[in-house]
């Protein structure tokens, strides 16, 4: 089968699967690169999937390189749950995850083909193209789950295990008897496999000669393999800076979504492509800073989601997240670091709470926790949040908010009116209801919270920032090319309206603050500390404690009273209600929409 025909077939499926031996031997790309560009819409690219029981896929393979470069989809690896005695398994898992792979597990001892299909179905894969090798195909045929079998013929003889070879020629130049040719074929060493595989999925070169042929008699000198420097492996918890893994400063592109309707032309416009290229290449506007923050966010939140559990103090959770952020982004100040205080908002608290010094709050089994994490690189702030709970009765509330956020992302675009976008978010959110303690509650959009634009060192876009409402409004403001937005939604089982309450922990210097004389010497000193370490980035009391500031509350309140610093108290819905939040950072690029913070978790 020619390459273009095979690649055309790939566009018809959700996923394309090969075994680990094919991945090792052929280093396939499993994409549709040999198809001519489409004039209407890009060709569908199937999800690359590798059967790799013991996580042996090299982190240097083309699949992972393409994903990191933004030219290929994120590969999935189907692995077997690790044995207890495999000490190196965690290192392989961490290395592949860090390189961009998503690991899906099947139970040890289960029927691996059936288990693989089940886990893929749970991830939304409805149709699968299996390209090899021979034993992989054999296992799928034996499972009686194959709908269509495509067989192609080529002028190559195929021997045991699907290994191809050329027919040898005699001294007179004519082909020898086929029986003799087969007899000269060396025995095939069966690979030791975790999940069945053997031969090729990508290579279309002429089959190799066998022992006794003219080709085989010409022995080639083996080149000594070059010594490869050891690849870094991320620690657990993650504390190794990203520059060790991305020395060229090129970070993974986020999820690309195409503009709709009247903006479809942007994708193929030469002018818009040029603008996108220039923006990306300018050190002042390059997307690499925000993408670096996104990669840090994914690693930090992956560890947090795996390790946050009831019984932990909120202070411990916040400090672990912030330590990981500082280490991975390799900064603790204005050049790079934490983008804003880690939000840890429980139950009816929707936003703007982080523990102050001495806080003893312990996470409980019945709590619903919103985790809001910020990362910045050169002032470009990545803002993304998620919700966790350990009580299944909150699942529908969490699902409602996640769906509403995804609606906001999907419908966002250049020239979209913000008031109309809020209506679409509200419609999705309020189509859900949740049963808690035997009582059914409608899920409400919190009407006085919103998403927002982000500008360098300004988390809410400054005095002329735009807001993305969570309910329908008459706001005719339009989204514009080049805007960075935090699309965040909040859902509640309460009134759907928040009020400020409790001790304040979040603060930020106002971008265009007035230059007023300060009477308190302590306020002048504190302002110098804020300017030096945070600028206009949000901070909290714990950060001032960490810098060695003490007895600063009077000075801080004075800066607030003078209009130099803004305070952001915690935001609560009514007592007894439950709230949830999801958030992503997106860029409205000239040619497409990039969901920078998207990951496999949300």
- Tens of pLDDT along 152-204? 766 555 555 555 544 444 444 434 444 333 333 343 333 333 333 333 333 33
* Rg of the Cα atoms in the chain: 28
Range from 210-224, 368-382, 569-583 carrying the lowest mean pLDDT:
210-224
Residue 532 three-state SS: helix
- Phi and psi of 214, rounded to 5°? -60, -40
Q: Which helix (H) or strand (E) holds 48?
A: strand 47-51
Q: Which residues are annotated as a binding site for a divalent metal cation?
A: 372, 383, 452, 488, 583
Unique residue bearing structure tokens 């001519």: 36
Give the pLDDT of residue 221.
56
Paired residues of 372 in beta bridges: 343, 385
Q: Which of 267, 298, 246 is nearest to 69 (CA)?
A: 246
Length of the chain, please? Answer: 602
Local confidence band at 592 (pLDDT 50, 70, 90 cut-offs): very high
Give the pLDDT of residue 160.
55
Q: 230 or 333, which is more confident?
A: 333
Q: How much is the average pLDDT of 429-438?
A: 95
**Distance (Å, whole) CA 534 – CA 343:** 17
- Whether 354 and 541 have beta carbons less than 8 Å apart is answered as no
The most confident of 118-127, 128-137, 378-387, by mean pLDDT: 378-387
Give the pLDDT of residue 337.
97
Give the Å distances, CA to CA, from 75 to 3, 58, 64, 481.
Answer: 21, 12, 7, 31
- Whether 372 and 558 have beta carbons less than 8 Å apart is answered as no
Q: Is the pLDDT of residue 290 over 60?
A: yes
Asked: is 504-568 a CATH 1.10.10.10 domain? The reply is yes
**Taken in order 65, 71, 74, 77, is the CA torsion positive or negative?**
negative
**Distance (Å, whole) CA 345 – CA 373:** 12
516 token code pair? 């007023």
- Whether 7 and 30 have beta carbons less than 8 Å apart is answered as no
CA angle (363, 365, 366) in 5-degree steps: 100
Give the pLDDT of residue 232.
84
54 token code pair? 């013991």
Q: Which residues carry out catalysis?
A: 372, 383, 452, 460, 488, 583
Q: Which helix (H) or strand (E) holds 589?
A: none
DSSP string covering 464-510: T--EEESS------B--TT-EEEEEEEEESS-S--EE-S---EEEE-
**Distance (Å, whole) CA 522 – CA 313:** 32
Q: Which of 361, 326, 358, 329 is nearest to 347 (CA)?
A: 361
**Average pLDDT taken over every residue of the chain:** 86
Asked: is 242-496+581-595 a CATH 1.20.1250.20 domain? The reply is no
Q: How much is the average pLDDT of 201-217?
A: 39
**Taken in order 44, 412, 593, 449, is the CA torsion positive or negative?**
negative
Local confidence band at 41 (pLDDT 50, 70, 90 cut-offs): low
Residue 78 three-state SS: strand
Local confidence band at 85 (pLDDT 50, 70, 90 cut-offs): low
Residue 223 three-state SS: coil
* Choices 3.40.50, 1.10.3470, 3.40.430, 2.40.128: CATH for 3-217: 3.40.430
Phi-psi category of residue 535: left, alpha or beta, with phi > 0 → left and psi -120 to 50 → alpha:
left
Ranges of each domain in the chain: 3-217, 242-496+581-595, 504-568
Q: Which residues are annotated as a binding site for substrate?
A: 352, 460
Q: 213 or 403, which is more confident?
A: 403
Give the pLDDT of residue 162.
52
Straight-line distance from the first to the last Cα atom of the chain, in angstroms, rounded to the nearest whole number: 38
pTM of the predicted protein model = 0.65
- Whether 571 and 504 have beta carbons less than 8 Å apart is answered as no
**Distance (Å, whole) CA 50 – CA 239:** 29
Q: Which of 163, 128, 157, 154 is nearest to 143 (CA)?
A: 128
Q: Which of 446, 473, 449 is nearest to 574 (CA)?
A: 446
**Taken in order 55, 47, 250, 385, is the CA torsion positive or negative?**
negative
**Distance (Å, whole) CA 56 – CA 79:** 10
Unique residue bearing structure tokens 């009116």: 417
- Whether 295 and 68 have beta carbons less than 8 Å apart is answered as no
- Whether 600 and 74 have beta carbons less than 8 Å apart is answered as yes
Local confidence band at 432 (pLDDT 50, 70, 90 cut-offs): very high
Q: Which residues are annotated as a binding site?
A: 352, 372, 383, 452, 460, 488, 583
**Distance (Å, whole) CA 342 – CA 356:** 11
């Amino acid at each position: 089968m020619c390459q273009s025909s095979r690649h055309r077939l790939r566009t018809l499926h959700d996923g394309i699967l090969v075994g680990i031996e094919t991945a090792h031997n052929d280093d396939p790309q499993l994409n549709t690169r040999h198809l001519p560009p489409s004039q209407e819409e890009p060709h569908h690219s199937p999800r690359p999937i590798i059967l790799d029981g013991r996580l042996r896929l090299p982190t240097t393979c083309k699949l992972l390189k393409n994903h990191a470069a933004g030219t290929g989809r994120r590969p999935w690896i189907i692995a077997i749950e690790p044995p207890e005695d495999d000490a190196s398994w965690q290192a392989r898992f961490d290395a592949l995850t860090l390189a961009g792979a998503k690991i899906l597990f099947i139970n040890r001892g289960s029927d691996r083909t059936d288990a693989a299909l089940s886990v893929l179905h749970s991830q939304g894969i409805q149709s699968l193209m299996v390209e090899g090798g021979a034993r992989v195909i054999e296992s799928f045929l034996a499972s009686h789950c194959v709908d269509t079998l495509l067989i192609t013929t080529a002028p190559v003889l195929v021997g045991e295990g699907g290994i191809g070879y050329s027919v040898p020629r005699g001294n007179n130049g004519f082909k020898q008897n086929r029986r003799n040719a087969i007899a000269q074929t060396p025995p095939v060493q069966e690979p030791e496999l975790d999940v069945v595989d053997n031969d090729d999925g990508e290579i279309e070169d002429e089959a190799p000669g066998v022992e006794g042929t003219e080709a085989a008699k010409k022995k080639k000198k083996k080149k000594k393999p070059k010594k490869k420097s050891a690849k870094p492996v991320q620690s657990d918890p993650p504390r190794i800076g990203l520059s060790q893994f991305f020395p060229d400063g090129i970070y993974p592109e986020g999820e690309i979504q195409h503009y709709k309707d009247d903006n479809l032309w942007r994708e193929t416009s030469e002018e818009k492509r040029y603008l996108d290229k220039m923006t990306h290449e300018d050190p002042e506007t390059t997307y690499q800073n925000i993408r670096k923050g996104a990669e840090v966010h994914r690693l930090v939140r992956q560890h947090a989601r795996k390790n946050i559990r009831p019984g932990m103090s909120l202070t411990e959770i916040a400090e672990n997240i912030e330590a990981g952020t500082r280490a991975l982004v390799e900064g603790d100040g204005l050049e790079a670091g934490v983008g804003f205080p880690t939000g840890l908002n429980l139950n009816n608290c929707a936003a703007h709470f982080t523990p102050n010094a001495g806080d003893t709050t312990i996470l409980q089994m019945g709590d619903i926790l919103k985790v809001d994490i910020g990362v910045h690189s050169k002032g470009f702030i990545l803002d993304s949040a998620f919700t966790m709970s350990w009580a299944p009765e909150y699942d529908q509330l969490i699902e409602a908010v996640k769906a509403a956020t995804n609606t906001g992302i999907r419908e966002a675009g250049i020239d979209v009116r913000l008031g109309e976008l809020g209506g679409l978010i509200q419609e999705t959110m309020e189509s859900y209801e949740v049963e808690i303690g035997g009582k059914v509650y409608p899920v409400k959009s919190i009407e006085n919270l919103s998403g927002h634009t982000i500008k360098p060192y300004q988390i809410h876009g400054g005095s002329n920032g735009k807001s993305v409402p969570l309910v329908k409004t008459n706001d005719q403001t339009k989204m514009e090319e080049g805007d960075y937005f935090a699309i965040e939604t909040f859902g509640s089982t309460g009134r759907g309206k928040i009020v400020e309450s409790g001790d304040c922990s979040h603060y930020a210097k106002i971008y265009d603050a007035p230059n007023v004389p300060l009477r308190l010497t302590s306020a002048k000193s504190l302002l110098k500390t804020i300017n030096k370490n945070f600028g206009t980035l949000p901070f909290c009391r714990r950060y001032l404690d960490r810098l060695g500031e003490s007895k600063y509350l009077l000075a801080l309140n004075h800066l607030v009273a003078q209009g130099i610093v803004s305070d952001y108290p915690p935001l609560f819905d009514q007592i007894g209600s439950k709230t949830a939040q999801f958030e992503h950072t997106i860029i409205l690029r000239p040619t497409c929409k990039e969901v920078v913070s998207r990951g496999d978790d949300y």
